[in-house]
Each structure stands twice: as structure tokens, then as C-alpha cells.
Structure 1
Amino acid sequence: MRSLARCCARNERRRHDCKEYRRAVVTYYLGIDAGGSHCRCRLVDSDRQVIGQGESGPANARIGVEALKATLMFACNQAIAQAGLSEGDVARIDAGFGIAGIGRPGIKEQLAQLDFPFRSVRYETDAFIANLGAHQGADGAILVIGTGSIAHVRVDGRSFSIGGYGFPISDEGSGAALGLSAMRHALRALDGRTKPTPLSAAVTGRFDHDTTLAVAWMDQATPRDYASFAPLVMDYADAGDSIARSIVEDAALHVERFIEAVFERGAPRCALAGGLSHRMRPWLRQKTVERLVEPLGDPLDGALLLAGSP
């Protein structure tokens, strides 16, 4: 009996030691998709099993690198806590961050100066990781239509973006662009320059149909604020509202031109992504839709590939 007890005890110690050893050598991978509306995080182990997730608010580089770091770490800490990782575990995390707006001069250099608690951190744009995830690292293109809009192309060792210069000078076909057009049309209807429609009434209704209140809102409005009108525009367009339909039809033309451009630049395939992509797709011509492929993965898959996840 004593011999059996000693044998069981040894086996238990071995199992414990093996578990501790595996925990000591495992690498964790963390992917971040930081966009203009929200920031999402996914944490996986060496077997690519999801062990933690997190989410926080807008994380465009425009907010400043210190504020950006706080937003990123808020989401990361949620995932780390959910996974139950220790401080030592966190030091074995390889991270891949896809961040909107980091193509601006000096931003990557500023980010490189930040002190993250991870073993390694790699930075790219949110469009880059979306493309990487959509085609699982293979050549291809993606058009992201969300708060903003941007196309990203990977072909023959080259990687480049089309559009995405920032609202309001760019971001054609995006949620922010839809919202801006809705505001313009609604204010024209309010002062009698165009015929009011249910959409224009719904938009100005948010400001008690008072132009001065709308102008005061515009003084502080962000792209995300404008994009908050996008679902309203799409709903009224689907219902046949004339102003809403004209706004969405114009946006669809911009989306189609994006798609034409990526194929002209050599992309072998193109996928759509972003919160507005599914609602915009029915407004595209059939011949355009037939050229599109379904994404093989999402932007967080791309961020994990960027981090080095197998």
C-alpha cells in the first residue's frame, strides 16, 4: 500500500512538473484591431486556442499615442484577465497591433517609444491586418467599409493602400460619409432648398429641427458621430426614401470604383470587410459582386498572423 501511495505521489508530481514546464515555455499571441469606432482584442495560446478577449472604444491614432496606449491596454488587460495569465505569462506574449491612422508621419516612431509589457509588438494599419486575415497571408485585396473606408492590396511582395486619407477629405462610401451627406440634405430640406423626406425629418429631429443646434453639434462631431447616422440612412434607403436612396447610390459608386482600382493594381482577388460592408453589398452591381470573394478570416486573425501566430 505504501509503495502504491509513493508511486501515485511521484506521478502526481510529474504531472504537475510537466504542466508547469509547458506553462513556462508556451508562447501567447495577442491580436488587436484598433479602428475609428472601437478596439477589439483576441488572445490565443501556442495551439491558437482563444483564451481571452477584450474590447474598448475608438483607437484611431488621431487621439494621440498616450491616449491610444491607454485604449489598447484597456482591451488587452480584459483579455489577459480572462485568460488568467500571470505577469510572467504576459512577458511571453507576442502582439500584433493593427491601428487606424498610423500611416501618418511620425506615428509609428512615436509608438515605438511606448513601453508595452509584451515580449514583442508589431504595428501595422488596420487595413493591413484585415487583408492579412481575409486571405490568410496570401496575395489579395480588401476593401474595408466602416466608420471610414480604405482598400489594401498585397501582391507580388508589394503592400499598399488606396484611399483612407481621413474624413472628410476621403473615406468615400463609408459610414461617416453617409452621415455627412444625410446632414447636408437634411439641413437643405429644413431651410426649404430641397423637399423634406422621412430621412431628413429623422435627422433634424435629433436636433429638435433647430439649425443652430445642428451647427453646434457639427462643431464637435467626430467621424464616429457622423457614422452613427449610417444605419438610419440605410434603413430609409431600403424603404424607398428618395434622399436616402440618392446618398446610398452615390456611396455604392465610390465602393465600385474602389473595387475596380484594386483589380487594376494587380490584386488577384478582393473581399469586403467592415461594419457597413454587408449593408452596402446589395447596392452594388451584380457584375461587381461576382468579382468578390468571401474573407477566409477576420482582422483579428490577421493581427495574430502579424504577431507571429502559426
Structure 2
Amino acid sequence: METKFYLSVDGGGTKLHTLLFDSELRPVGTGVSGAINPNFVPMELIEQHMADSIDQALGSAKGHTGVEIEDVWISMPGPTDLYEKLLRQRCKVGGFNRLSEGETAIYSAGLSTGLLVLCGTGATLFYVKDGKSELYQGGWGSPFGDEGSGADIGCMAIRAALRSYDGWGEKTALEPGLCRFFGCDTIRGTMAAFWRKKDTRGSIASVCKLVGECAKAGDHIARSILVEAGRKAAGQTMAFMHREQLPAAGPVILAGGAWKSGEIMLSSFVNTMAMRYPMAEIIPASFDPVVGPVARMAMVDGEERLSTKAFVRLRELYPEYLTRWPEVPRLPTRPCLTELGSYTRL
């Protein structure tokens, strides 16, 4: 039987990921480049990032010349028509399917129905039923919203570092940490370098990693920022569930890079959810969103969840795409934090 090729594309406020795989669901090529959200990144840079991601994926398809792509699944807040144009200039393409961020991410958790709390560079909530987004909340973009996102955490951290430097805020390791993070000697030099960056929102969101490191080292301010981020994400989730009368038992799926900051944000989210929805089933996504369409193809028609057998196979095929989650101690008053098969812990 002839091998067919497929493409999964996931883009956002920090990076664009292109994954080429075959009809046996095996990875063939991959490409990663920068942000593609036109609200925050100039179009010439978006086109460059798209071209780089495509060329990397096609170029890394070793042993496969003249690749013809049967179907493409693409999820991004940017111009998908531009990506399609650039891709068709480089190879033959069949179907081109546009998915919402919610649809892609929920399949990366091995499910087809549930409430998705996506905290990446930005933050949006989706209710997905049978693989189709029916409702969504948030996604207003910083500085107006996106509470609980990487950009929100980064903003809180930069403000705390500047207040520490100016002497009217509590001293925090985020102050010297911010200088090291951007490779500068002083806070003023750091901020001057920051404003010269083309993608300021992505740069702000990247500070989320520094917050996680400082929190792990015991910095009080960094820890409080992550507690607040978890509360914000939970507050939005509970409001969404109440307003739309969504099932109290969930499932509630977590996805996005902001969650990778450590167990503090996750614990804060779970504890806050327990106040109103103690029976909610909270499921951390097993894979990065770009694997969502692969998991979708691995699910038998009519299945609401990926089978254990299929999960184990995808885990073996895509170990580098497994999402690493912190361990949160179980308490009787907490919602159920479910593992799909088994998720990788920090």
C-alpha cells in the first residue's frame, strides 16, 4: 500500500510548529520557527517564520523526495491563507483543513469532548464537543485580557522586577534574574534591549520560564505570581462553566506553555476549582497541540477518548512531544486530576 503523508500545523504567539507524518502515524519531518500572530508580529516576519517552518519540515523528511501531502490540519491565529500559499509553492497538497486552537489541543489530550483551558502566550477557553468548537471565552489579547497566560505572568514578573529595582516594591530574585534572562548588565539596559525586540509580546511571555525558575528556588514574589495566575485561570473556567451550564464533572483539559512553569500554578488552579467544582475531572494534555491531528487519526470513529493501546503507541512515536507536568499531591477536597494512560511529570 502506498504511503501517504499528512501535515499538522500549530501556531501562536510564541512559535509555529509544522509536523509531517505518514499514514502509519510515524513522524517524518518537523519544523519550528517564531510567532505568527499578526496582532503582535509584522507580516514580513510572519511570512519568514512560515517559510522557515515549512522548509525545515520538508527538508528533514529524509529518504522522501518530492513529498505529496494528502491532507493538512492547521490551527493558528495568523493568516492561514498565506501558509497555504507558501506550502503549495513547495509541494503538491490535497485537502487543507482549518481547526480552532481548541480542536487541536483537545485531541492532544486524547479526547474529543470537554472544556479546554488553553494558557499559552495568550489564554482562551473552548468548549469542544465531538471534535468541534461550540463555545469559547476570553482570548482578548494582552494587555486587555489573557489572564493566566504566559504574557500575563511575564507582565506581572517584569512589573515586580521594576518595582524591586525602584525601591517601592518587595525585593525579588526576578530583578537580577531579568537582567540575566535578556543578557544585560542593568535593569535599564534590559528594558532598552526589550523594547528593541520585534515581537515584544512573545518576549514578555518568555519571562514565564524565569518566573518558574525563581519560584522553584523559593522566591516569594515569583511564587505569588504563579498562585495568582492559577487563580485567574480557575476563575475564568468556573465562570465559563456556570454561564454556559457545562457539566460540573468536566472533563476540564489543560494545555499551553504557561502551565509548564511548575506545580504552583497547577496546584493553585486545582485548589481554586475545588471551591465550586470539587468533582471536576481535570486532565493535563498528554502531548503538545501539534500532535492533536495525529491523535485524532489514531482514534477509532465514535471514540470519545484515545485508547490506552493507541496512547502507548503515540508516546513511543512522539516522546519529544510529551508534555511534562508537575506532580500535585492528591487531597480529598480536590478535583480529580486524571492521567490519560500516563502523563510525563516534571
Place the TM-score, normalised by the shorter chain, in its bin: 0.7 to 0.9
DSSP-derived class of the 1:97 partner: strand
Q: Distance in 2 between matches of 1:240 and 1:186?
A: 16
Q: Which of 269, 285, 296 is equivalent to 1:295?
A: 285
**Following superposition of structure 1 onto structure 2, how do residues 98-109 of structure 1 map, counting pairs within 5 Å?**
98-99=75-76, 101-102=77-78, 107=79
Offset, 1:218: 3.7
Identity among equivalent pairs (%): 26
> Partner residue of 1:272?
254
When Rg is computed on C-alpha atoms for both structures, the one with the higher figure is 1
Q: Which of 1, 7, 13 is equivalent to 1:36?
A: 13
> Partner residue of 1:144?
118
> Partner residue of 1:86?
65
CA change 1:71–1:163 in 2 (3 A) is: same
DSSP-derived class of the 1:114 partner: helix
RMSD of the TM alignment (CA)?
3.2
Aligned 8 A contact 1:121 1:307 in 2:
no
Aligned 8 A contact 2:105 2:288 in 1:
yes
Q: Which of 163, 171, 175 is equivalent to 1:200?
A: 175
**Following superposition of structure 1 onto structure 2, how do residues 192-231 of structure 1 map, counting pairs within 5 Å?**
192-203=167-178, 207-211=184-188, 214=191, 217-218=194-195, 220=197, 222-231=200-209
Q: Distance in 1 between matches of 2:105 and 2:233?
A: 17
CA change 1:149–1:255 in 2 (3 A) is: same
Q: Which of 269, 285, 301 is equivalent to 1:284?
A: 269
1:240 maps to 2:218 = yes
Q: Distance in 2 between matches of 1:274 and 1:296?
A: 11
DSSP-derived class of the 2:282 partner: coil
> Partner residue of 2:235?
257
- So what's the TM-score if we normalise by structure 2? 0.68
Aligned 8 A contact 1:269 1:293 in 2:
yes
Offset, 1:204: 5.3
Which structure shows the higher helix fraction? 1
Q: Which amino acid aligns with 2:229?
A: A
DSSP-derived class of the 2:221 partner: helix
Aligned 8 A contact 2:157 2:222 in 1:
yes
Q: Distance in 2 between matches of 1:191 and 1:50?
A: 50
Offset, 1:306: 7.7
> Partner residue of 2:129?
155
1:121 maps to 2:96 = yes
Moved over 4 A (4+): 64-67, 110-113, 204-207, 304-310
Offset, 1:198: 2.4
DSSP-derived class of the 2:283 partner: coil
DSSP-derived class of the 2:128 partner: strand
Q: Which has the higher contact order (CA 8 A, sep 6+)?
A: 1
Q: CA offsets per residue over residues 161-195 of structure 1, 9 Å max, x none?
A: 22122122222112221111122122222222223
Q: Which runs of 5+ in 1 are unaligned?
A: 1-21
DSSP-derived class of the 2:28 partner: strand
Aligned 8 A contact 2:178 2:190 in 1:
no
CA change 1:309–1:49 in 2 (3 A) is: farther
Q: Distance in 2 between matches of 1:198 and 1:252?
A: 21
Offset, 1:84: 3.5
Q: Which amino acid aligns with 2:285?
A: P
Q: Greater CA deviation, 36-45 or 215-224?
A: 215-224
CA change 1:167–1:111 in 2 (3 A) is: same
Aligned 8 A contact 1:27 1:45 in 2:
yes
Aligned 8 A contact 1:122 1:307 in 2:
no
- So what's the TM-score if we normalise by structure 1? 0.75
CA change 1:238–1:30 in 2 (3 A) is: same
